[in-house]
Amino acid sequence: MDFTLGLFLAVVATGLIWFIDRLFFRRHRAADVKVPLLVDYARSFFPVLLVVFLVRAFLVEPFQVPSGSMLPTIRVGDFLLVNKFTWGLRLPLIHTELTQGNPVQAGDIMVFRFPKNPRIDYIKRVIGLPGDTIEVKGNDLYINGKLIPQKYIGTFNYRPEGQGEAGMVIPTKEYEQTIGGHTFHIIEFDTPEAHMDFGPYKVPPNCYFMMGDDRDNSDDSRFWGCTPRRNIVGKAMFIWFSWDAETWSVRWNQIGRALDGPNN
């Protein structure tokens, strides 16, 4: 069950128990009679659950990265905090937009509900804004007909997921790229079969073109189209914890890393 829905139902249930007891039973209960255990629990947990629900719905929400599509920026096992208000407040569960917020910028890292299955949250980088024309030729990215330069950084040792610490390491090329004032690193496989051509594709109104920083291993807008504005969950802020399940170790160098600044 969706965690937000479960939390909402818990708030409603504890609130109703506490309210009904206060309205109908508390006044008739003798001073020396112990408060029923269910009512006592509801009275204790309701304010806590309400605060947690409101914070998750309108301020920040934790998010765990399940895949490596944002390597080398974000790794599998990174735990993020997602800003829920920068791009506009939305009602929980029904996702109706209440406020407009700041405009989404190219280069931002967005958490969103996967258009083909809104029950699943995805995380990608915003590459194209409404009205932009996106084209990919091999490893070259063009936005509105302009080639986005790539600066070679070095070799990135890519280890496929699920193979453990002893798994095969595949050397890939790491580049630096700048889009919309954000400077970040991407990785690409330097093999003909890894290259693909896409577009030109014009981003529709109220939609965003998303791509992973692991350009050759990302299920993104090149395959399923743009992300509607109504699917936005929030903007990735920073990594508050990072766990490497392959080696059972904490990635201390990832913890505290900001994701909403110019260098991410």
84, 124, 218, 221: the active-site residue: 124
Q: How many residues does the chain have?
A: 264
The per-residue pLDDT for range 122-143, each reduced to its tens digit, is 999 999 999 999 999 988 999 9
What own/partner pairs with CB < 8 Å and gap ≥ 24 does 54-59 have?
A: 56/4, 56/7, 56/84, 56/92, 57/4, 57/84, 57/91, 57/92, 58/84, 58/85, 58/89, 59/83, 59/84, 59/85
What phi and psi, each to the nearest 5 degrees, are found at residue 27? -70, -25
Q: Which residues of the chain have pLDDT under 50?
A: none
Cα–Cα distances in angstroms (integers) from residue 85 to residues 82, 136, 145, 209, in the given order: 9, 32, 33, 21
CATH number attached to the domain at 63-250: 2.10.109.10
Query: Tokens 């009679």 map to which residue?
Result: 33
69, 218, 221, 242: the active-site residue: 69
- Residue spans per domain, the chain: 3-58, 63-250
DSSP SS3 for 30: coil
The per-residue pLDDT for range 205-222, each reduced to its tens digit, is 999 999 999 998 899 999
202 is catalytic: no
124 is catalytic: yes
